[in-house]
Chains A and B, each alone.
Chain A
């Protein structure tokens, strides 16, 4: 925080700043606000909390910062501090900052029951997560969805936005149970919560791709959610406990840990910072590779097949900014014969998904979604690719059906993995 010398280099990189050019909605303003709180010039008022909490934690500002400010670390620490204050102040939810507002933390909303449920029970255990996903699938498959939409129950429960965002839940999930595909050097796959359920086919393809690049890809048993949603929501304690469970699951091996969700990858690479006292954490983080980063350093067993598509790439913030991976996905795609990769305008600008931001900050998220989708449509591409589940959902919800939305793995698998007509059913497939 002390490193910020207010040069303003971050302003034009910030998605929330470029919407309206308000200093309090930009990185430099947020740093100044957090610093004023830390130094006792400012209470955590409702407005202070709101301006800081509007940050997507996309880290685009950190990426361009010449003096080395790390926004995600500062933002996460501030959220945890603010929630601790709010808890200890014991006030009602969304306590307004009124006459008695000198109490620190009075402007911070206390976590809702829903959030506490989500952070604790739902994301805390992959089994629970799969259970809910199965219920959702039942909901989508049965007439209930039609009924709920038409009776207006969703609107009543203020869930319509969230409901429209939901992906079609596939009929099977990936349940990490030590299953392995391919032969060669060992590589461990981090399955993630959303990627192993809502995007289970993509996660299977990830393992098959890793195998097609000459490795034995396995899903270590006992792995859990990475903890990013909890951390960004200010619940550092839960995030750390999930991180410890993952350290146990992935063990002391030297094998690379391959991730297909940029948001998870960014945090897994920072376990060393999250658990500074656990010597295993830094070693774990050093093994983590985004799937594109991992594949780009290896050679496939077979030459790629032709894929006739015109695609554009949406850089996930947690890949481009937080992990600084930009060339790997491009070089992989450019190596596929028949595939044309087109650049879009403002490639580094967040799509507005940002974890659960699209649910918690609907207006700003919608503005960014519209801006991103317009850039995608301008390229004339018939498919947009990305490396993160949040972006996939956000773009699917914002784009017309004529433009396909896919994970970069989906297209790479078309080029490198055995075609489905081989009749081979995936050995990884497990109904959880």
Chain B
């Protein structure tokens, strides 16, 4: 498996000069150019891998701007990353260049209780902000499963979601201000500590979800809301997956907006149980994790009981309401572990992130089952069933070319099924390099042309995360085989 022929790396001497210049900006210990170090900045949360020419860890917006100016002068690709836990290849340096590691910019600048917002640097870990604001009785809802390691800069770049987003909205709904380094190295501040803003184009919203292709977000102002004081969680087990997906549709139509409504199928239940021994029912074909929060516990409990009644009515084999905070934490720990724990089954996984209109969840789950059968591949499903965002994970072994081909076909069929049901490619992971070949099919040629025109305005030299988001022209056939991995014995 080889990548699209990468543009030739700079000559060793040019690379050494670049490293020396960057050392003057960020300091010696924060330029990572040694042979083992470029390996450490070559991957993300997928199986893709390609060495950058070097990586730098700047400490401030000013340092980021200085690094980008150097990259702009030399037309070197520059790829920003936080924890690089992304699942779409968004931070893979496919064409070499400079990796900008923003994890070191990890200061919570301010928690402003009067304006109910937080000011954070890009490298702050999502969970750290959440724990900090909760001390003030405040709440930052977006909660990607990777919140323990993902950075807020990465969340903004990918418009991350999470289980609670069903009720509270995604990262985009909480961003009111951004500090951005443009492709020229100029620094621009967008928005502010504002609850409303109708002043012209909302450029900051264009930056959210742009995956580092339009500018580099170094600081964000995030809206906060009051912390709900009560949470009630329940777990419903179903003997049939179809029954669980019907329960989702029925609950969403019942006038209740739960805080979360998460689905796990039988394979995911068992693989998580192997890791955590959380007491999940191994024989169930599906689980629904239900949660309601609110200012008072009886109201939250009433909602959970109403949802439990719907599940029981549809033939749930068991509905258990978590009795203690510890029990609830165990359930959540189980949910968060699902995606990485799937590696226990096969060496590689293609984690999809499709969204369909909520009413189509049962139909979509049916389609995924058919695709799995058609190609003989294990495709466990879990995800945020309540908002129509599902994560079918195709499990495979990258070392087997026949299987890789089958995975391509299965992924294609799943994408097309989602599109035909009125859905789209990604709900919270982003497009990166993994799904770009399907973008035109998903959005149409006109929308893609508009997006390309926007990219051209922001980044005329095409140095910011080049190649991501847009179809390459290679087409859908072989879209996996064209992705970069280190050529060698056992890629992955």
Which A residues between 1 and 19 are near B, CB-CB below 8 angstroms? 2-12
Query: A29 vs B337: C-alpha distance in the bound complex, in angstroms?
Result: 20
Given A20-B104, A23-B84, list of 8 further CB < 8 A pairs? A8-B146, A11-B83, A12-B125, A22-B32, A32-B43, A51-B40, A66-B340, A66-B343
Interface residue tally of chain B, by bracket? Answer: 35 or more
Residues of A within 8 A of B32 (CB): 22-24
The 0/1 profile, CB within 8 Å of A marked 1, for residues 164-208 of chain B is 000000000000000000000000000000000000000000000
B57/A2 in contact, CB under 8 A: no
B106/A21 in contact, CB under 8 A: yes
Q: Chain A interface mostly helix, strand, loop or mixed?
A: loop
Q: Assess whether A187 is interfacial by the CB under 8 Å rule.
A: no
Query: A26 vs B125: C-alpha distance in the bound complex, in angstroms?
Result: 15
Q: Assess whether B296 is interfacial by the CB under 8 Å rule.
A: no
Q: Assess whether A308 is interfacial by the CB under 8 Å rule.
A: no
Q: Assess whether A60 is interfacial by the CB under 8 Å rule.
A: no
Residues of B within 8 A of A29 (CB): 39-40
Report if A51-B83 is in contact (Cβ < 8 Å); known contacts: A21-B101, A40-B489, A41-B488.
no
Q: Assess whether A42 is interfacial by the CB under 8 Å rule.
A: yes
Residues of B within 8 A of A24 (CB): 32, 36-37, 39-41
Q: Assess whether B339 is interfacial by the CB under 8 Å rule.
A: yes
Residues of A within 8 A of B488 (CB): 39-41
A7/B339 in contact, CB under 8 A: yes
Residues of B within 8 A of A36 (CB): 36, 39, 486
What are 8 A-B pairs at a CB distance below 8 A?
Answer: A6-B43, A8-B150, A23-B32, A33-B36, A51-B40, A66-B339, A67-B342, A68-B275
The 0/1 profile, CB within 8 Å of A marked 1, for residues 8-47 of chain B is 0000000000000000000001001011110111111111
B residues engaging A (CB < 8 A)? 29, 32, 34-37, 39-47, 55, 57, 83-85, 101, 103-104, 106, 123, 125, 146, 148-150, 275, 337, 339-344, 347-349, 486, 488-490, 492
Residues of A within 8 A of B47 (CB): 5
Q: Assess whether A48 is interfacial by the CB under 8 Å rule.
A: yes
Least CB distance, B264 to chain A, in whole angstroms: 14
Q: Assess whether A45 is interfacial by the CB under 8 Å rule.
A: yes
Q: Assess whether A208 is interfacial by the CB under 8 Å rule.
A: no
Residue of A nearest to B128 (CB): A12
Query: A45 vs B37: C-alpha distance in the bound complex, in angstroms?
Result: 11
Q: How many A-B residue pairs have CB under 8 A?
A: 124
Query: A65 vs B343: C-alpha distance in the bound complex, in angstroms?
Result: 11
Q: Assess whether A43 is interfacial by the CB under 8 Å rule.
A: yes
Residues of A within 8 A of B84 (CB): 6, 8, 23
Residue of A nearest to B489 (CB): A39
A residues engaging B (CB < 8 A)? 2-12, 20-24, 26, 28-29, 32-33, 36, 39-43, 45, 47-48, 51, 65-68
Residues of A within 8 A of B34 (CB): 45, 47-48
A51/B486 in contact, CB under 8 A: no
Residues of B within 8 A of A42 (CB): 35-36, 39
Query: A417 vs B449: C-alpha distance in the bound complex, in angstroms?
Result: 80
Residues of B within 8 A of A47 (CB): 34-37
Query: A36 vs B489: C-alpha distance in the bound complex, in angstroms?
Result: 10
Report if A66-B39 is in contact (Cβ < 8 Å); known contacts: A3-B343, A11-B149, A21-B123.
no
Query: A339 vs B148: C-alpha distance in the bound complex, in angstroms?
Result: 33
Least CB distance, A16 to chain B, in whole angstroms: 12
Query: Which of B42, B149, B337 contacts A12, CB < 8 Å?
Result: B149
A7/B85 in contact, CB under 8 A: yes
B341/A41 in contact, CB under 8 A: no
Report if A48-B36 is in contact (Cβ < 8 Å); known contacts: A7-B85, A20-B104, A67-B343.
yes
Residues of B within 8 A of A8 (CB): 45, 83-85, 146, 149-150
Q: Which of A8, A11, A42 has the most CB of B within 10 A?
A: A8
A9/B148 in contact, CB under 8 A: yes
Query: A39 vs B104: C-alpha distance in the bound complex, in angstroms?
Result: 30
Report if A9-B146 is in contact (Cβ < 8 Å); known contacts: A3-B343, A41-B486, A66-B341.
yes
Residue of B nearest to A21 (CB): B103
Q: Which of A4, A12, A24 has the most CB of B within 10 A?
A: A24
Report if A2-B347 is in contact (Cβ < 8 Å); known contacts: A21-B106, A41-B488, A67-B341.
yes
The 8 closest A-B pairs by CB, nearest first: A29-B40, A48-B36, A47-B34, A8-B85, A67-B343, A21-B103, A66-B340, A24-B40
Query: A2 vs B397: C-alpha distance in the bound complex, in angstroms?
Result: 11
Query: A48 vs B32: C-alpha distance in the bound complex, in angstroms?
Result: 12
Query: Which of B57, B339, B347, B490 contacts A39, CB < 8 Å?
Result: B490
B340/A33 in contact, CB under 8 A: no
Residue of A nearest to B337 (CB): A66
Query: A398 vs B38: C-alpha distance in the bound complex, in angstroms?
Result: 35
Residue of B nearest to A20 (CB): B104
Query: Which of A3, A11, A26, A28 contacts B344, CB < 8 Å?
Result: A3
Residues of A within 8 A of B104 (CB): 20-21
Residue of B nearest to A5 (CB): B343
Query: A382 vs B408: C-alpha distance in the bound complex, in angstroms?
Result: 62
Least CB distance, A315 to chain B, in whole angstroms: 18
Residues of A within 8 A of B150 (CB): 8
Residues of B within 8 A of A6 (CB): 43-46, 84-85
Query: A4 vs B347: C-alpha distance in the bound complex, in angstroms?
Result: 9
Residues of A within 8 A of B37 (CB): 24, 47, 51
Report if A5-B349 is in contact (Cβ < 8 Å); known contacts: A32-B40, A33-B39, A48-B36.
yes
Q: Which of B40, B45, B103, B341 has the most CB of A within 10 A?
A: B40
A67/B340 in contact, CB under 8 A: yes
Residue of A nearest to B35 (CB): A45
Residues of A within 8 A of B44 (CB): 6
Residues of A within 8 A of B148 (CB): 9, 12
Residues of B within 8 A of A48 (CB): 34-36
Least CB distance, B35 to chain A, in whole angstroms: 5
Residues of A within 8 A of B339 (CB): 7, 66
Residue of B nearest to A31 (CB): B40
Query: A22 vs B32: C-alpha distance in the bound complex, in angstroms?
Result: 9
Least CB distance, A18 to chain B, in whole angstroms: 9
Residue of B nearest to A18 (CB): B106
Query: Which of B125, B146, B348, B486 contacts A7, CB < 8 Å?
Result: B146
Least CB distance, A62 to chain B, in whole angstroms: 12
Query: A158 vs B93: C-alpha distance in the bound complex, in angstroms?
Result: 44
Query: A39 vs B342: C-alpha distance in the bound complex, in angstroms?
Result: 24
Least CB distance, B324 to chain A, in whole angstroms: 15
A45/B36 in contact, CB under 8 A: yes
Least CB distance, B57 to chain A, in whole angstroms: 6
Residue of B nearest to A69 (CB): B343
Residue of B nearest to A49 (CB): B36
Residues of A within 8 A of B343 (CB): 3-5, 66-68
Residues of B within 8 A of A66 (CB): 275, 337, 339-341, 343
Query: A6 vs B343: C-alpha distance in the bound complex, in angstroms?
Result: 10
A43/B35 in contact, CB under 8 A: yes
Query: A43 vs B42: C-alpha distance in the bound complex, in angstroms?
Result: 16
Query: A6 vs B48: C-alpha distance in the bound complex, in angstroms?
Result: 10
Query: A404 vs B491: C-alpha distance in the bound complex, in angstroms?
Result: 51
Residues of A within 8 A of B275 (CB): 66, 68
B123/A23 in contact, CB under 8 A: no
Least CB distance, B36 to chain A, in whole angstroms: 4
Residue of A nearest to B486 (CB): A41
Residue of B nearest to A37 (CB): B36
Query: A39 vs B32: C-alpha distance in the bound complex, in angstroms?
Result: 22
Query: A10 vs B149: C-alpha distance in the bound complex, in angstroms?
Result: 8
Query: A32 vs B36: C-alpha distance in the bound complex, in angstroms?
Result: 9
B40/A33 in contact, CB under 8 A: yes
Least CB distance, B62 to chain A, in whole angstroms: 18
Least CB distance, A416 to chain B, in whole angstroms: 29
Query: A326 vs B189: C-alpha distance in the bound complex, in angstroms?
Result: 47
Least CB distance, A65 to chain B, in whole angstroms: 8
Residue of B nearest to A68 (CB): B344
Report if A5-B35 is in contact (Cβ < 8 Å); known contacts: A66-B275, A67-B340.
no
A51/B344 in contact, CB under 8 A: no
Residue of A nearest to B87 (CB): A7
Query: A40 vs B46: C-alpha distance in the bound complex, in angstroms?
Result: 21
